[in-house]
Amino acid sequence: MLALLLLAQMWNPSVRSAPLTHNAPTQLLTFGDSKSMNGAGGNVCRPLESLTYWEAHPVTCTRLAKSGYTAALWQADIDADLAGIATVYADILVNLGANDVVVLPAEATWKANMGYVLDALHAWRPVARIFVARVWRTAEVADCDTLDGWIGDLVATRPWAILGVDERTFLEAVSTDGIHPNGTGYVVEAQQWRPFLGY
């Protein structure tokens, strides 16, 4: 009788659909430009949620992103946009810069704008881990290398910031347009993020 009961539970859809965890989901925010939005290829949020669903540390992921945005545009908007968000995020994944390399600003200008954005995120959620991706764009490889060096400089001066994924190592193989991940690419990106996050 016990064996039949256990077998019935194994095939009960309501039992199988629940995550095998008692922990509340970690709140995660993806921030940046169109790469962090819900575009034609999808977004990284759903694959991250799927990868962690059955784990001890599931993720609930939301987005704050604007298509075509640069560090300068976000510098002008970020304070007002953050003021309207009540969710307390444990982790923030920043992916910003692929639009900046089209016409690369002066180093001091870009660092001032991007530094302001990172500092605003930290002031808004001081206990959150802030990961910063290094970006790639197919027609701007040399400028991406330059910008990614600047990203490293900014992170090095902020002990609460952490270098995240490096798109130069994987995105070209999983991008249809040379800028954004395709559907497979967002799954690959989630897999790339996961070791940094540790869950």
Q: For residue 72, is pLDDT > 60? A: yes
3 in a domain, yes or no?
no
Residue 39, pLDDT score: 67
18 in a domain, yes or no?
no
5 in a domain, yes or no?
no
Alpha-carbon gap, residue 36 to 18, rounded angstroms: 27
What does 109-137 look like in DSSP terms, one character per residue?
HHHHHHHHHHHHHHHHSTTSEEEEEEP--
**Which residues span the domain enclosing 89?**
25-197
Residue-wise pLDDT for 161-180, tens only, equals: 999 999 999 999 999 999 99
CA 186 to chain centre: 10
Task: Calculate the alpha carbon distances from 62 to 74, 85, 125, 128, 157 in Å.
Answer: 18, 11, 15, 14, 27
pTM, full prediction: 0.87
Alpha-carbon gap, residue 56 to 180, rounded angstroms: 30
Residue 37, pLDDT score: 87
Domain count, the chain: 1
- The residue ranges of DSSP E strands in 96-173, in sequence order, are 129-134, 161-166
Residue 38, pLDDT score: 75
Alpha-carbon gap, residue 197 to 129, rounded angstroms: 9
Token reading at 182? 């395709």
Alpha-carbon gap, residue 45 to 62, rounded angstroms: 7
39 in a domain, yes or no?
yes
Alpha-carbon gap, residue 99 to 71, rounded angstroms: 9
Residue 14, pLDDT score: 45
Of the two residues 40 and 181, the one the predictor is more confident about is 181
| pLDDT band for position 199 (cuts 50, 70, 90) | confident
Cα angle 25, 29, 31 (rounded to 5 degrees) comes to 165
Q: What percentage of the chain reaches a pLDDT higher than 90?
A: 74
Exposure string over 177-195, b if 16+ CB within 10 A, otherwise e: eebbbbeebbbbbbebbbe
CATH of residue 134? 3.40.50.1110
Q: For residue 86, is pLDDT > 50? A: yes
Of the two residues 104 and 38, the one the predictor is more confident about is 104
Alpha-carbon gap, residue 181 to 154, rounded angstroms: 25
Residue-wise pLDDT for 5-60, tens only, equals: 433 443 444 444 444 545 778 899 999 999 998 766 678 999 999 888 877 778 89
Residue 53, pLDDT score: 81
- Average pLDDT for residues 109-132, to the nearest whole number? 98
Token reading at 72? 């300068």
